[in-house]
Amino acid sequence: MTLKKLTSVLMPILLMTTTVWMLTGIEQRMAGLGTTSSAQMLLGRLGIALPYATAAGLGSVILFASAGSTAIRYVGGGVASGATVAVAVAVWRELARLSSFADQVPFNAVLGFVDPSTTMGAMLALGAGLFGLRVVSRGNRAFSAKAPKRIEGRGAIHGSSNWMNLKN
C-alpha cells in the first residue's frame, strides 16, 4: 500500500474520531448560551447531536473533495470506518447512560428512554458511513454524472434532431 492510499484511509478515520472526542461535552456550553429554559433545552439537545453530526458532515466533505481521485475507494473506506467509530461511540455512551437506571424500569420500557438527539446524530453518521460504503463499492461512479443525459424519442425537443454533417 502506497503512502497516498494509507493516508487516504487513515485521515478520515482520525479526523472523524477526533471530532467526536473533541466535541464531547459541548452541550453544556451550548445550553449556557440560551436565555430561556426552552432555548437552553433546545441548544443542549443540539449539542448532544453535534459531535456525531459534525463527524458525518466532515466525512461527506472529505468524500466530495476527493471525487475524481484514483484513491477514492480508500477514502470511502476511511469515511466508512470513521463513521463506524462515531456510531459505536454514540451507542456506547447511550448504553452506559441507560444501564445506570435500567434496573429501576422494566426491560421492555428501557427503549423508551433512548435519547432522540443521540439517535439523530448517530443516524447522520450512519448515513455518511453508508455513502462511504457506496464509494468503496462503486468508486467514482458513486457520484452523479457531470454530463446531461441525451434524450431521444418522441418527447425529445432537440435531442433527436438529425443535423447536417460537415462534409456537405
pLDDT of residue 112: 85
33-51 as b/e, with b when 16 or more CB fall inside 10 Å? eeeeeeeeeebbbbbbbbb
CA–CA gap between residue 156 and residue 149 (Å, rounded): 12
Q: Does the pLDDT at position 150 exceed 60?
A: no
**Which pTM does this prediction carry?**
0.81
Break the chain into its structural domains and give their ranges. 17-140
Q: Which residue blocks in 23-143 are alpha helix, DSSP H?
A: 26-31, 37-65, 72-99, 116-138
13-22 per-position pLDDT tens digit: 999 999 999 9
| Interval 47-106: pLDDT, tens | 999 999 999 999 999 999 999 888 999 999 999 999 999 999 999 999 999 888 888 888
Q: Nine-digit cell at 134?
A: 457506496
Average pLDDT, the chain: 88
